[in-house]
């Protein structure tokens, strides 16, 4: 049986085997996970996937089948024994799930034996990149809905079983209210929505019969799909007739109708009038059909009478921006028996890494509660909120701002200590509520969908100087990269 431990790219094993052969397996290293670009050119991303990573690292071991396969590829002897007796012993810090995050800042930090830190890279990035991508997309969709309910219905279009289940989880963190994915609902305790299907309607002689039978079986929270044949001339009139004949006599009210095709802005306006005239002003209108945040915004601007959006493929695949480019880069390493900062230098300025073991701080305005900026410091530095603090742009260094009346909060929290989990894993609903709360700390300018304000991620003076020193040292020795990831 293959385990998650085996989700490692082949070159990681080549690297690990080489480190073991050179007796460098216990050399310490510090790696940062960070990203460079925000999906959909947005103002921020939403951290997600940490709980999945924690579960993986708590159960990290290699099976006999995996070791046998590796041995067949030439990895034998000492390396095979090393993996057979593998015990994770790194320290890990992470930004909690649901936190708004920005390019260039470490969202996870791993410190420990370099082989171990290398071997977890692929699973870590696979997990964090995907769930962060979907949580970010979901939050955009939820904000576009302006307080209306959003449910995730993309399981059949997701890129595989795990993507469907973990995508629903990530979408819930981003703010959606429920899912149609029963496996995700069961595993992650997400509210499940279950509207009727077109095929149900087509299996009866008439639409009215289909609705009537359905309501007899599902009178509680009944949702009827009304666009199988003709939404306005057939679907809604038959739904109203079924409500009158089946629900009203037993003292129950319909929950909603669902429209899955056509001009949903126009149809929702007409549907609202028809339902209101029939005495069902409390019956909601749900729409679906390849929705995303842009379509939702347009429909609401045009006055659509919609209470809930069922969003599928464009959410679960983040179709408009389907890749989250998180990377895993070494920032400090034991070289010649000495721990020292490392840097990757590139002709592409955005790919120059930030060296050193670091802390990440978020400064909040004490009066408004809004986030002012994020600041990276050396690990031994502290930001004293009782004193003014000078922010400066790490590239355009003449851009400076003195801030006062703020609270500084460390964002990276301990998750593993010497390989043992020290993190309280919050319930998914708690993470979702935290996410919505933290997004509310961002200024409206950062929340814009088009041309959002660039949130500041700055370096402390000491960290900035160390970075410049290392750049000059490496460039002076001719040791700089070509900008490859």
Each domain of the chain, given as residue ranges in start order, spans 4-134+322-476, 195-289
Q: Residues 86, 19: contact at Cβ < 8 Å?
A: no
Q: Residues 415, 374: contact at Cβ < 8 Å?
A: no
Does the structure show a pLDDT above 60 at 432?
yes
pLDDT value for 240: 98
Q: What is the mean pLDDT of residues 227-245?
A: 97
Give the C-alpha separation, 468 to 394, whole Å. Answer: 10
Q: What is the mean pLDDT of residues 38-53?
A: 98
pLDDT value for 482: 43
- Indicate the pLDDT class of residue 478, thresholds 50, 70 and 90: low
Strand order in the sheet with 371-378: 406-410, 358-365, 371-378, 457-459
Q: What is the CATH number of domain 4-134+322-476?
A: 3.20.140.10
Does the structure show a pLDDT above 60 at 485?
no
- Indicate the pLDDT class of residue 246, thresholds 50, 70 and 90: very high
Alpha-carbon distances of 313 from 67, 80, 408, 460, rounded to whole Å: 38, 42, 39, 42
- Indicate the pLDDT class of residue 336, thresholds 50, 70 and 90: confident
pLDDT value for 440: 98
Q: Residues 44, 453: contact at Cβ < 8 Å?
A: no
Does the structure show a pLDDT above 60 at 484?
no
Give the C-alpha separation, 25 to 15, whole Å. Answer: 10
Candidate from 1-10, 419-428, 468-477 with smallest mean pLDDT: 1-10
Q: At 286, list the tokens.
A: 């749900």
pLDDT value for 221: 82
Angle at 366 between CA 360 and CA 372, to 5 degrees: 45
Give the C-alpha separation, 235 to 208, whole Å. Answer: 8
| CATH value of 195-289 in 3.40.50.10140, 1.20.1630.10, 3.20.20.70, 3.30.450.20 | 3.20.20.70
pLDDT value for 154: 95
pLDDT value for 200: 95
DSSP code per residue over 313-350? HHHHT-TTS-----EEEEEEEEETTEEEE-----SSGG
pLDDT value for 24: 86
Percentage, residues of the chain above pLDDT 90: 85
Q: Residues 275, 258: contact at Cβ < 8 Å?
A: no
Give per-residue pLDDT as tens, 204-234: 999 999 999 999 999 888 899 999 999 999 9
**Nearest residue to 223 via CA among 171, 189, 187, 258:** 258
Strands 327-335 and 338-341: antiparallel
Give per-residue pLDDT as tens, 139-166: 999 999 999 999 999 999 999 999 999 9
Does the structure show a pLDDT above 60 at 94?
yes
pLDDT value for 479: 56
Give per-residue pLDDT as tens, 341-397: 999 998 888 889 999 999 999 999 999 999 999 999 999 999 999 999 999 988 888
Does the structure show a pLDDT above 80 at 125?
yes
What SS3 class is residue 108? Answer: strand
Same fold, 4-134+322-476 and 195-289: no
Alpha-carbon distances of 142 from 96, 151, 158, 286, 308, rounded to whole Å: 20, 9, 19, 15, 10
Name 203's Cβ contacts closer than 8 Å, sequence gap at least 6. Answer: 210
- Indicate the pLDDT class of residue 2, thresholds 50, 70 and 90: low
**Nearest residue to 25 via CA among 124, 118, 110:** 118
Q: At 448, list the tokens.
A: 């814009």
Give the C-alpha separation, 320 to 310, whole Å. Answer: 17
Q: At 64, list the tokens.
A: 């006999």
**Nearest residue to 255 via CA among 189, 196, 185:** 196
Q: At 4, list the tokens.
A: 């998650």
Q: What mean pLDDT is reported for the chain?
A: 94
Residue-wise burial string across 460-479, b where 16 or more C-beta atoms lie within 10 A, e elsewhere: beebbebbeebeeebeeeee
């Amino acid at each position: 049986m293959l385990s998650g431990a085996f989700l490692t790219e082949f070159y990681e094993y080549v690297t690990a085997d080489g480190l073991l052969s050179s007796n460098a397996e216990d050399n310490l290293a510090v790696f940062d996970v960070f990203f460079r670009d925000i999906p959909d050119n947005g103002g921020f991303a939403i951290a997600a996937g940490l709980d999945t990573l924690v579960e993986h690292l708590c159960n990290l071991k290699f099976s006999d089948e995996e070791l046998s396969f590796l041995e067949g590829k030439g990895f034998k002897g000492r390396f095979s024994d090393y993996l057979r007796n593998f015990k994770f012993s790194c320290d890990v810090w992470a930004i909690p799930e649901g936190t708004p995050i920005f390019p260039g800042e470490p969202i996870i930090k791993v410190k420990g034996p370099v082989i171990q830190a290398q071997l977890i890279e692929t699973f870590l990035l696979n997990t964090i990149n995907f769930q962060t991508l979907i949580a970010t997309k979901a939050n955009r969709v939820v904000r576009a809905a302006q307080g209306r309910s959003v449910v995730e219905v993309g399981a059949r279009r997701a890129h595989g079983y795990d993507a469907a289940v973990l995508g629903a989880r990530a979408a819930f963190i981003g703010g959606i209210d429920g899912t149609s994915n029963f496996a995700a609902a069961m595993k992650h305790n997400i509210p499940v929505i279950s509207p009727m299907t077109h095929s149900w309607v087509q299996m009866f002689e008439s639409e009215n019969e289909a609705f009537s039978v359905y309501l007899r079986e599902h009178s509680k929270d009944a949702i009827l799909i009304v666009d199988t044949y003709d939404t306005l001339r057939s679907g809604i009139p038959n739904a109203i007739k079924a409500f009158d004949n089946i629900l009203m006599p037993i003292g129950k009210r319909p929950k909603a109708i669902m429209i899955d095709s056509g001009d949903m802005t126009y149809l929702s306006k007409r549907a609202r009038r028809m339902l209101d005239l029939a005495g069902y002003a409390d019956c909601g209108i749900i729409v679906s059909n390849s929705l995303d945040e842009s379509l939702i915004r347009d429909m609401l601007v045009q006055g659509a009478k919609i209470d809930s959006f069922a969003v599928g493929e464009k959410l679960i695949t983040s179709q408009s921006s389907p890749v989250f480019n998180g990377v895993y880069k070494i920032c400090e390493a034991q070289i010649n028996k000495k721990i020292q900062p490392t840097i990757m230098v590139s002709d592409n300025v955005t790919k120059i890494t930030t060296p050193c073991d670091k802390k990440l701080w978020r400064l909040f305005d004490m009066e408004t509660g809004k986030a002012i900026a994020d600041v990276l410091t050396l690990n031994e530095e502290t930001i004293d909120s009782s004193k003014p603090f000078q922010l400066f742009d790490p590239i355009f260094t003449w851009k400076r701002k003195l801030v006062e009346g703020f609270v500084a909060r460390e964002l990276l929290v301990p998750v593993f200590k010497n390989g043992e989990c020290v993190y309280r894993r919050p319930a998914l609903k708690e993470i979702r509520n935290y996410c919505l709360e933290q997004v509310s700390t961002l200024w409206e300018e950062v929340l814009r969908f088009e041309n959002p304000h660039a949130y500041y991620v700055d370096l402390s003076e000491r960290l900035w100087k160390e970075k410049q020193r290392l750049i000059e040292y490496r460039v002076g020795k001719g040791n700089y990269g070509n900008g490859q990831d």
